[in-house]
Amino acid sequence: MKNLANVFKALSDESRLRIIHILLTSGELCVCDIETTMGFTQTKVSRHLAYLKKAELVTERRQGLWKLYSIAKSKNPEYKHVLDCVSEIVRLQPVAQKDAKLLTKNIKKGCCTTFSVVKQTSAAAFH
């Protein structure tokens, strides 16, 4: 139960909800992609990603010089259910729709990495 409470604490911040949303939209992003999309500083993005990692919602991997962040694959079915519900609710919010459109535009421009893509199902929901 304590782990689930930590998940809800991690999701209780608008910035972290926005980060979760764009990670669900793209699959994987570097800090620079998140900064550019959300208009946040590197320190703010890194701080929120650390909080989400501690709650085991986000994972990272190295690709050359970049650290790429994505939604963690949890063995806990409650985590998946919570993220599914959060995703459905957050994607309807105007700021989340704006983030998704800007992320799509930034990825097409080249942004920071060439590893990011916008998932078809998510991109279609915003057009």
CA torsion, points 31, 115, 25, 94, in degrees to nearest 10? 60
* Structure tokens given for 31: 């800090």
Q: Answer whether 3's CB lies under 8 Å from 56's CB.
A: yes
Smallest CA-to-CA distance from 103 within 8, 18, 3, 2 is with 18
Residues 71-117 have pLDDT tens digits of 998 888 888 899 999 999 998 999 999 999 998 888 877 766 555 55
Phi (first) and psi of residue 42, to 5 degrees: -60, -40
Strand-pairing partners, residue 29, are 69
Supply the pLDDT for residue 117. 55
Task: Dump pLDDT digits (tens) for 46-70.
Answer: 999 999 999 999 999 988 888 899 9
- For residues 25 and 124, the model is more confident at 25
Virtual torsion, Cα 92, 105, 73, 80, nearest 10 deg = 10
Which of 93, 125, 101 is closest to 38 using CA atoms? 101
Tell me the CATH class for 2-109. mainly alpha
C-alpha of 23 from chain center: 3
